[in-house]
Chain A
Amino acid sequence: MATRSKVSASANGQPRASKKPARADLIPTEWGEAGAIERLRKMMLIRAFEEKAEELFSLGRVHGTMHLSIGQEASAVGAASALRVGDYLLNTHRGHGHCLAWFGSDEKLMMAEFMGKESGYCRGRGGSMHIANVDANNLGANGIVAGGLPISVGVGLSIKQRATDQVCLSVFGDGGANTGAFHESVNMASIWQLPVIYLCENNQYAMSMPMKKAFNIPQVSDRAKGYGIPGVTVDGNDIVAVYRVFQDAVARARAGQGPTLIEALTYRWRGHSKSDKQAYRTRDEVKEWQAQDPIRRFGRVLKLSDAEFDGHRVWADQRINEAVAFSEASAEPKIDQILEGIFA
């Protein structure tokens, strides 16, 4: 049976909490104080990485484009918090956050990849849209919207055939939910009860197409019913809320009870990519969502003083500056190795 959401989208698409739990409910006891701070710092590390990425681009020190997840950090860190080493990740083009939140991730290797260096996760061949860390079962970001969804069926089948209790986190956006790949993938995972958790990060826009114009239903998670799996919509800017719904989904998946569709309501603060003039939305709308900043919200939950909060951000900036220094000191790939790695 489909579970109903604790949070629903209001008419303007803003998340609206149906109840405000007391503080004791907010920080999971299993995190502890240190674990909670660690997660705050992880979100700050993602934010710092992406702000630096943006800066490097505007200074002309990297080329190409990038898809920033600034404003969506709680979804990545909340999801990973409910998973464990050995689980699998299939990520999106807006995937810096999930990659950094994943197990064993190293922001130095990520930044080096972003800067196209041989020391990067993918030897500079992949770049922002294709960062993977296969050794850690991070099966990569994907330049194709919903491109990872069919692959997650195979990962789920593989887990089932190998009879392990791993799970696969398969991330996509509201745009991806309208592809045929979404339908084929979720249906196959459902009929075979595969341990796949479908995370739809609904950041309200598929490039310029607003969610309200691209769906004739109020919530993406409503689609779960059509596949006979649980669907839940959650405030994606609340790291604890994301973690809680993931805990349920992960428990079901590990127990062989099949996939779950989780819709995390969030917002992309930046444009779709670097070419986006953002003519399709207002500054006021962006400001309203920025008031829901997942990092500041969690800082308030933790009752941090401004100085404490800023101190953690200084830590994150320091780590990212070191990653940039590492990357700049790293070698460029060699042209005579351009054909390496096509075939095994």
Chain B
Amino acid sequence: MRELTYVEAIREALNQAMAADPRVFLIGEDVGVYGGAFGASAGLHQQYGAGRVVDTPISEAGIAGACVGAALTGMRPVGEIQFMDFITISMEQLVLQAAKIRYMFGGKATVPMVLRTPGGSGTGAAAQHSESLENWFVHIPGLKVVMPSTPYDAKGLLLSAIDDDNPVIFVEHKLLYKTKGPVPEEPYRIPLTQTDVKRVGQHLTVVATSMMVPRALQAAEQLAAEGIELEVVDPRTLSPLDDAPIIRSVIKTGRLMVVHEAHRNGGFGGEIVGRVAESEAFDYLEAPIKRLCGLDVPIPYNRTLEAAAVPQVADIVREAKALVK
């Protein structure tokens, strides 16, 4: 199959959604002629014009609010927040408006919007351009949170997110943008809330998100040579979460490690662990559960410190061995 990079897959999804539905438009900082800070909308301004690829001032609350208002009145906006860190400026509109409007209005309004944003560290951009804030949104009823880890998933999940009648926070990763993988040319949809088993194994369930999925798969390759088989499970949609495949996997392997880049304290890993602990899988556990997460520290600038702040392949290998031994 043809291969695309993750960012090309996102661009193709945006292009196909815009071509198919005049209600879909893009809005964000530098999404136009510039093509988006990471190139996700490159060329779309030329193709669709400034009316459908809307460059905004530095106004993250305004971008989020513009998505809410347009979505409420018949459009299907796709906003971009240039770095996930900046979504902090949009929080009021996302948490208090987008997420709650349908419920507060008795189920009589729909807010079909997508807000794309790249999270994650590894670019040397330090503490204010490296956040992984996905769990803030997981905590809010009324928001869906999607976090693809491959080009294939990125395209299929983005098309589903744009189709969805609810507000979706679509979290990309800066280090994944240049990764390559097979992507069908035609439009296709991957349902939201569908956990994916990325690698089958019998010794340890590794639930990983975003950039941690390829790292977990690399670790699995290394460990396979030593006879340890990891089962790598990618939730893809963090909320609402399809937890059944995770629980089934833990029942099979008897061991669980959760790997994410976000800080451990209050992170998504706690939710996974909680769901497993509350499930029938609890009786099958043969070892303590492990959370391998970003350290509880602002992402440091220094290259060595930055790498040490989030899980690397070697960390996954080491912790997996400790759990399986």
Contact = CB atoms under 8 A, between A and B. Distances in A.
B106 A343 contact: no
B107 interface: yes
Interface string B96-116: 110001111111111010000
A70 interface: no
A155 B70 contact: yes
Interface string A112-156: 000000001111111000101011010110111001011111111
Interface string A267-298: 00000000000000000000000000000000
Contacts, number: 152
Contacts of B52: 161
Contacts of B66: 150-151, 153-154, 157, 188
Interface in B33-83: 51-52, 54, 56-57, 59, 61-62, 64-75, 77
A140 B104 contact: yes
Given A151-B68, A184-B61, A188-B56, A140 B103 contact: no
B69 A150 contact: yes
Contact of A122 (B68, B75, B106): B106
Interface centre among A121, A130, A158 (most CB of B within 10 A): A158
Q: How large is the interface on A (under 10, 10 to 19, 20 to 34, 35 or more residues)?
A: 35 or more
A344 B71 CA distance: 13
Contacts of B68: 150-151, 154
Contact of B105 (A122, A150, A343): A122
A180 interface: yes
B101 A140 contact: yes
Contact of B61 (A124, A157, A181): A181
A60 interface: no
A88 interface: yes
Nearest to B50: A192
A105 interface: no
A152 B102 contact: no
A25 interface: no
Contact of A147 (B67, B75, B92): B92
Given A132-B109, A155-B70, A188-B56, A181 B104 contact: no
A333 to B, nearest CB: 9
Interface string B18-39: 0000000101000000000000
Given A181-B65, A188-B66, A144 B73 contact: no
A151 B62 CA distance: 8
A153 B60 CA distance: 12
Contact of A180 (B54, B61, B73, B165): B61
Contacts of B71: 154
Nearest to B25: A161
B115 to A, nearest CB: 12
A32 interface: no
Given A158-B69, A191-B57, A341 B62 contact: no
Interface of B: 25, 27, 51-52, 54, 56-57, 59, 61-62, 64-75, 77, 92-93, 96-97, 101-110, 112, 141-142, 144, 164-166, 240
Closest 8 CB pairs of A and B: A150-B65, A154-B69, A341-B107, A123-B106, A344-B165, A184-B62, A122-B106, A154-B70
Interface of A: 88, 90, 120-126, 130, 132, 134-135, 137, 139-140, 142-144, 147, 149-162, 168, 180-181, 184-185, 187-188, 191, 340-344
